[in-house]
Amino acid sequence: PEVVCLQGVCKSYGVGTPREVEVLHGIDLVLRRGEFCALIGPSGSGKSTMLNLIGLLDRPTAGTLFIEGHDTRRLDDAALTRLRGRSIGFVFQHHHLIGAFTAAENIMMPLLLDRSRPDAAMRRSAERLLDRVGLLPWKDSRVGNLSGGQQQRVAIARALAMSPALVLADEPTGNLDTKSADGVFDLLREMNRESRTTFLIVTHDPRLAQRCDRIVEVVDGRIVADGAVEEFRRIA
């Protein structure tokens, strides 16, 4: 099945109140295994709302959302949480790591919550991930002592800990200087090539969007453009 499939997805906030407002209007979108896709659009256009729906943090008010073939309407909240834990990794602009914990401990967190592996296996798995993101020498450093770029690498390693089918990244380089941003972006790209994980990356940076395989553009809650990067280059 497709990793992500939205059919006529709408989202309203304040349903049943006088302030009810629809911010996504009939979104159709399919993301296939291994796609590396940018999500762009002006502030307030609905990108975060889309990411929250696809990330199973919120539910559509109309339409259908499938994640790895599961019709999410048929799943209760507990089942959604399990599906999210299994299938989706998150990378945020503010990394949401725990500063007082070491890099390895931060990465083991999703594994600890999952409780499917013994301690030694978790530690090995965390070290393998840190090695992949180039941070093995920092495995026992407190995350609070690492640079912004290093912290974001830890966040990427953590997002990949459960070998998810999909990684959702919201402005993953938003806090970084150009050089660190390039490094973090290169790493996302590399992880995508190695693991065939699907990536959906919200970015304001046209330079980074151009380096994705596909760009989806939302304006006022509708997809207004969707295509391979080459087509966007011709328009730009």
Please give the residue ranges that form the binding site for ligand ADP (CB under 6 A).
Answer: 13-14, 23, 41, 43-49
Helix H or strand E encompassing 126 = helix 119-132
Residue 22 Cβ, how far from ligand ADP at the closest point, in Å? 9
The angle, 0 to 180 degrees and rounded to 10, between the axes of the packed helices 178-195 and 148-159 is 20
The owner of tokens 């990684």 is 167
Give the DSSP per-residue string, 165-204.
SEEEEESTTTTS-HHHHHHHHHHHHHHHHHH--EEEEE-S
One-letter amino acid for residue 189 of the chain: R
- Closest to ligand ADP by CB, 130 vs 202, is 202
47 vs 221: CA distance, rounded Å: 8
Residue 221 Cβ, how far from ligand ADP at the closest point, in Å? 7
195 vs 172: CA distance, rounded Å: 19
Residue 58 Cβ, how far from ligand ADP at the closest point, in Å? 9
- Closest to ligand ADP by CB, 105 vs 171, is 171
**Looking at the chain, how many residues does it have?**
236
Whether 154 and 126 have beta carbons less than 8 Å apart is answered as: no
Residue 159 Cβ, how far from ligand ADP at the closest point, in Å? 19
- Closest to ligand ADP by CB, 39 vs 187, is 39
Residue 60 Cβ, how far from ligand ADP at the closest point, in Å? 13
Residue 12 Cβ, how far from ligand ADP at the closest point, in Å? 9
195 vs 165: CA distance, rounded Å: 9
- Closest to ligand ADP by CB, 13 vs 66, is 13
- Closest to ligand ADP by CB, 42 vs 137, is 42
User: With b meaning 16 or more CB within 10 Å and e meaning fewer, what string describes 34-46?
Assistant: ebbbbbbbeeebb
Residue 219 Cβ, how far from ligand ADP at the closest point, in Å? 9
158 vs 169: CA distance, rounded Å: 12
- Closest to ligand ADP by CB, 68 vs 217, is 217
- Closest to ligand ADP by CB, 48 vs 210, is 48
